[in-house]
Structure 1
Amino acid sequence: MDLSSEANSEAALRLQDIELVVFDWDGTLMDSEGRIVASMQAAFRDLGLASPPATAVRGVIGLGLEEAIRRLPGFDGEQTLAELIARYRHHYLIADATPTPLFEGVQALIEGLHARGRLLAVATGKSRRGLDQALDLTGLRPWFHATRCAEETFSKPHPGMLHELMDELGVSPAVTLMIGDTDYDLQMAHTAGVRVLAVGYGTQTPERLLAQQPLACAPSIAVLSDWLLH
């Protein structure tokens, strides 16, 4: 299922009343999977632990950092959690040079939604420092009205981030849309009572996402933009 079908064109009409669009960051707006995987594996190696497979790291992208590390094979207990977090952040924010570009078309999509009067927000598993760095490097900071990181509230799939964003911006679940690339995003949205779209170009397969029954699953930013902006 993608947004180009006739059925989903009809679904698009039901989104005309949306006031707030909340985006996940990694895998939805930014192609950061490569750096996340490399940085996590390096953090484990720094502590002499077995490096988790890339597939395992990809499977926890979207969660808050503490929750993600706890779920990885090779994690040896709470006594190393703080060190693993510190080493991951060192590699991701400073040492690792793996490119983290925005997906093609993201800038135009965000600017287009802003021009149409939508409130825009980010709900992410990134740290505040990591998100602030990404917002500044990409130049997207001016377009977002509010942002929330997992370290500031509950990790996905808990609905805390969405509840706080809606409260801050004064909107109801009925006029809020969540867009993300993981089942954690979709579960969070369902629990918060907001509509949700999946994107199938990120870290999880469309089949895994569709099992969570989003409105639809966009295969690309171009298709997502066509639906949301026209």
Structure 2
Amino acid sequence: MKPYKLVIFDWDGTLMNSEARIVDSIQIAARECGLPILSYDESKQIIGLSLDKAILGLYPDLSTEKIVAMSEAYTKGFLEDSQVGMQPFDGAEALLFNLTQQGIKLAVATGKSRKGLDNVLKETGFGVYFDITRTPVESASKPDPLMLQQILTELNLKVQDAVMVGDTTFDMEMAQNIGMDCIALSHGVHQMEVLAEYAPVAQLDSLQELNLWLMTP
């Protein structure tokens, strides 16, 4: 085993293959709010941020009222209207099970809302594996490291005890901002050559590779 006592996961694009569902929901919301419908590639770049920051990232000139309307339309689109499926990446549950069997603590640090995360943890049954989860609702949006600090404080661990696993520059920068090791996965939103600029301790292509890397001394 690697010497970590805690593995912190991003959710969308890291454990859950939900990119297409998120983009579809963004486009649904834009259509309902009368905003320009951005391309798939443009829309996906903000995955990982809190919803308000994501919307401003795509539509920087929106009023507060329009941001609220867009947020509500996105949430409804994601939970009710989108017909695009999503599922955990291959090997997700095996990875979580193996780590817990080794006595490793697990956490989630995500840009999803609390309601959204709780819903998907229940739907997948993955909630049983995590010691603690954090969303921007009770913390701050990435790349602010507050979520990571809250997790460490709650579990009484030090930065060097933990590693952050993610698929976006927001994950890498959040870990960098607190001095935590990070692992980059290529199967999510951002390209590996961009993630590599943050000097992750590992650059991997799948959760199976991550499982093997963590289990190897």
TM-score by length of 1: 0.91
What corresponds to 1:214 in structure 2? 200
- Whether 2:9 is the aligned partner of 1:23: answer yes
What corresponds to 1:171 in structure 2? 157
Return the alpha-carbon distance in structure 2 between the equivalents of residues 204 and 134 of structure 1: 22
- Size of the alignment, in residue pairs? 216
- Alpha carbons 2:25, 2:77 under 8 Å: kept: yes
User: Which secondary structure does the structure 2 equivalent of 1:60 belong to?
Assistant: coil
Return the alpha-carbon distance in structure 1 between the equivalents of residues 29 and 177 of structure 2: 33
What corresponds to 2:21 in structure 1? 35
Return the alpha-carbon distance in structure 2 between the equivalents of residues 216 and 225 of structure 1: 12
What corresponds to 1:109 in structure 2? 95
Match of 1:88 among 53, 74, 80: 74
User: Which secondary structure does the structure 2 equivalent of 1:18 belong to?
Assistant: coil
Return the alpha-carbon distance in structure 1 between the equivalents of residues 61 and 112 of structure 2: 19
- Alpha carbons 1:56, 1:73 under 8 Å: kept: no
TM-score by length of 2: 0.96
Question: Which structure 2 residues correspond to residues 79-228 of structure 1 after superposition, within 5 A?
Answer: 79-228=65-214
Return the alpha-carbon distance in structure 2 between the equivalents of residues 133 and 31 of structure 1: 15
User: Which secondary structure does the structure 1 equivalent of 2:165 belong to?
Assistant: strand
Return the alpha-carbon distance in structure 1 between the equivalents of residues 3 and 71 of structure 2: 40
Which deviates further from its counterpart, 23-32 or 217-226?
A: 217-226
CA deviation string 1:72-117 (max 9, x = no partner): 0475332201110000000101221211100000000000000000
Match of 1:77 among 42, 51, 63: 63
* Identity over aligned pairs, percent: 38
Q: Which amino acid aligns with 1:213?
A: A
Q: Which amino acid aligns with 2:19?
A: E
- Alpha carbons 1:49, 1:75 under 8 Å: kept: no
Q: Which amino acid aligns with 1:212?
A: Y
Segments of 4+ in structure 1 off by > 6 A? Answer: none
Q: Report the RMSD for the aligned CA atoms in angstroms.
A: 1.2
